[in-house]
Chains A and B, each alone.
Chain A
Amino acid sequence: MPDLTKTAPVPDETKAPVADPSAVVKADKARSLWGDAWQDLRRNWYFVISAGLIVILLLITAFPGLFTSASPTTGDLVNHFLGKPELSKIGSPEWFGYDGQGRSVYARVIYGTRASVIVGVAVTLAVTLFGGLIGMLSGYFGGWIDALLSGFTNIFLGLPFLLGAMVVLQAFTDRSIWVVVFALAFLGWTQIARVMRGAVITIKQSDFVQAARALGASTPRILFRHILPNVMAPVIVVATISLGVYISAEATLSYLGLGLASPTVSWGMDISGGSAQIRVAQHILIYPSIMLSITVLAFIMLGEAVRNALDPKTR
């Protein structure tokens, strides 16, 4: 897998939806960047579809029991593995068939959502906080602080992402969700740091920052009350898109056997397990793969929609 977080700026694609005339009239009233972005998002079908999918995924994450009555971890060997998927029985344990230990593939797909979504969200939060802080300090203070922090960032950037994460994970014998989050965040923060640094360098020359300084505002106040709200847009865009990428990375690591470990239910592990039976029982492999791809797709689409809404160039 190519280095996942080093996604170069993914181009913006959906054309900004043409605002209908009534909206233009309403827009005369001054709106903030965020108000504007929200108006834009509501009319973007990328956003509507991805937000719908994400709401469902979050529901499954929070209440997997609502979607299936079967247990993902206990199986009945009577159902040993060749149980053909019964696609007409929507939502029943036998919907997607059974795996080698007689566990319902549907229940495992449902319960596997939790690991993926939690890892994606937690890693994104962690890298945004840490990378954002490093980037902000480096951009605002410049000089030797910048040289030091940028050097630090470049060192982490030179490490291949997946390989680094594999080495970190190998250090833990008991690999819970939080260990995986730590490994991905440990190597993933560089992109946000660079974006944040660039944005802060541009904005710190602005008049309003000079004015705040002239009025005697303290450095933390300037940083968090004046600069931060104005550099959030590019950071949010990068963070949303990378959420999908981290979910994909977690699945890849689990697939390699270096990510999550049983009894945590994870799509990556199930796909890896199913790959051994690819010739005889493809359903074990197919359904977690479909669910994984849909989840990644939902978050990447959301990121694109948010970028189009926040990027003034697409207006």
Chain B
Amino acid sequence: MGRYVARRLLQMIPVFIGTTLLIFLMVYTLPGDPVRGLFGDKGADPATLAAMRHQLGLDQPILVQYWEYMKGIVLHFDFGTQIASGRPVTDVLGDAFPVTLRLAGMAFVIEIVLGLGLGMAAGLRAGRLTDNVVLVLTLLIISIPVFVLGFIVKSVFAFELGWIAPNVSNDATWGELVAPAIVLGSLSLAYVARLTRTTMAENLRSDYMRTAVAKGLPRRRIVGVHLMRNSLIPVITFLGTDLGALMGGAVVTEGLFNVKGIGGTIFESIVRREGTTLVGLVTVLVLVYLFMSLLVDLLYAVLDPRIRYA
């Protein structure tokens, strides 16, 4: 087990370097200039611009910049400085990240509870009314883009019924985040429900299920232990990559409900060509993604004893 984890961690290094280098290249080959942007329409004299670029290290070749940047992250946990505000990116992250983590975490819990619940309800009654209702419902959810769903939720629950405030306050309390979290998690919820439903309906027909029934085990145990344990693997695979996707996809939901999370920060840094901030934020998202996929692989062994990591 320990050796497996160590090997996986080593394998992550090239992927991590590749992904961060890719985003770095993409950001730094963008036209436009964050330094010039600081001075607005009037502009500044070329010597000042050159001096500032030199100070920020922007006059170095790209690969040198990348090397310096990664050295900063690994050695000093230094993600660089936001050019416009002069704040360290770690500060900016520290403000925005907890909010997004709370939002994505809530969406994730909603997705697991409702998605698994609906999927089980449908899978155990495959072909009957419940099943068809769940299938049509989830198909509709998948078809409605997130921002449209956000507007529906906002106009029904905020404007018509007045149950929620249309915008989340700066504190972003748990209660305020419920509606945004439902909107953010809805698409994945539908996928989880469908995935659970299909694997359960398939496994219901398997030999071990017949054996379990024939042994006279109580239904709770058959479904809860034998069926669930075997049906969860594809669902776990999906869920594992989804937490990172939820955080990256929060751009739209955060904009809709005015949540001050990393989505807004990312959007702003793309528009302003704030390379360092953007690369820092994406680096964190990539780390979350890599960590979650490792966790998923380890969970496989827990769920299925046939999978062993020597």
Given A2-B187, A9-B234, A300-B142, A289 and B289 touching (CB < 8 A)? no
Judging by beta carbons under 8 Å apart, are A289 and B143 in contact?
no
In the complex, identify which listed stretch (B20-28, B66-74, B92-100, B171-179) lies at the interface while the others stay far away. Answer: B20-28
Of the four ranges (under 10, 10 to 19, 20 to 34, 35 or more), the interface on chain A belongs to: 35 or more
Q: CA separation between A185 and B191, bound complex, in Å? A: 23
Given A11-B197, A167-B23, A1 and B270 touching (CB < 8 A)? no
Judging by beta carbons under 8 Å apart, are B151 and A11 in contact?
no
Residues of B within 8 A of A23 (CB): none
Q: Which residue of A lies closest to B16 (CB)?
A: A158
B271 part of interface (Cβ distance < 8 Å): yes
User: Shortest beta-carbon distance, A269 to chain B, in Å?
Assistant: 12
B113 part of interface (Cβ distance < 8 Å): no
Residue among A2, A154, A160 with most chain B CB within 10 A: A2
A297 part of interface (Cβ distance < 8 Å): yes
User: Shortest beta-carbon distance, A223 to chain B, in Å?
Assistant: 27
User: Shortest beta-carbon distance, B151 to chain A, in Å?
Assistant: 6
Interface string of A40-81 (1 = CB under 8 A from B): 000000000000000000000000000000000000000000
Q: CA separation between A48 and B271, bound complex, in Å? A: 44
User: Shortest beta-carbon distance, A82 to chain B, in Å?
Assistant: 17
B305 part of interface (Cβ distance < 8 Å): no
Judging by beta carbons under 8 Å apart, are B27 and A11 in contact?
no
Judging by beta carbons under 8 Å apart, are A275 and B151 in contact?
yes
Judging by beta carbons under 8 Å apart, are B286 and A158 in contact?
yes
A interface secondary structure, majority: helix
Judging by beta carbons under 8 Å apart, are A160 and B30 in contact?
no
User: Shortest beta-carbon distance, B167 to chain A, in Å?
Assistant: 12
Judging by beta carbons under 8 Å apart, are B195 and A163 in contact?
no
Judging by beta carbons under 8 Å apart, are A2 and B242 in contact?
yes
Judging by beta carbons under 8 Å apart, are A158 and B142 in contact?
no
B58 part of interface (Cβ distance < 8 Å): no
In the complex, identify which listed stretch (B47-55, B213-221, B244-252) lies at the interface while the others stay far away. Answer: B244-252
Interface string of B218-242 (1 = CB under 8 A from A): 0000000000000000100110011
Q: Which of B16, B142, B146, B195 contacts A252 (CB 8 A)?
A: B146
A177 part of interface (Cβ distance < 8 Å): no
A285 part of interface (Cβ distance < 8 Å): yes
Interface string of A261-300 (1 = CB under 8 A from B): 0000000000100010011001001000100111011001
Given A171-B29, A255-B147, A162 and B135 touching (CB < 8 A)? no
Residues of B within 8 A of A289 (CB): 148, 151
Judging by beta carbons under 8 Å apart, are B197 and A168 in contact?
no
B294 part of interface (Cβ distance < 8 Å): no
A202 part of interface (Cβ distance < 8 Å): no
Residues of B within 8 A of A161 (CB): 245, 248
Residues of A within 8 A of B30 (CB): 167, 170-171
B260 part of interface (Cβ distance < 8 Å): no
Q: CA separation between A294 and B148, bound complex, in Å? A: 12
User: Shortest beta-carbon distance, A166 to chain B, in Å?
Assistant: 5
Judging by beta carbons under 8 Å apart, are A155 and B147 in contact?
no
Residue among A13, A258, A301 with most chain B CB within 10 A: A13
Which are the 5 A-B pairs with shortest beta-carbon distances?
A11-B198, A160-B248, A155-B18, A297-B143, A3-B245
25 A-B interface contacts by CB (under 8 A): A1-B253, A8-B234, A11-B197, A11-B199, A13-B139, A151-B14, A152-B18, A158-B16, A158-B19, A158-B289, A160-B289, A162-B251, A163-B266, A244-B143, A252-B145, A252-B147, A255-B252, A256-B255, A258-B270, A271-B147, A278-B151, A294-B143, A297-B143, A300-B143, A304-B139
Known contacts A156-B19, A293-B143; can you find 13 more A-B pairs with CB under 8 A? A2-B246, A2-B249, A3-B245, A8-B241, A11-B195, A12-B198, A13-B194, A164-B23, A167-B270, A168-B26, A171-B29, A278-B154, A293-B145
- Chain A residues close to B by CB (< 8 Å): 1-3, 6-15, 151-152, 154-156, 158-164, 166-168, 170-171, 173, 244, 248, 251-252, 255-256, 258, 271, 275, 278-279, 282, 285, 289, 292-294, 296-297, 300-301, 304, 313
- Chain B residues close to A by CB (< 8 Å): 14-16, 18-19, 22-23, 26-27, 29-31, 126-127, 135, 139-140, 142-148, 151, 154-155, 159, 184, 187-188, 191, 194-199, 202, 234, 237-238, 241-242, 244-249, 251-253, 255, 266-267, 270-271, 273, 278, 282, 285-286, 289-290
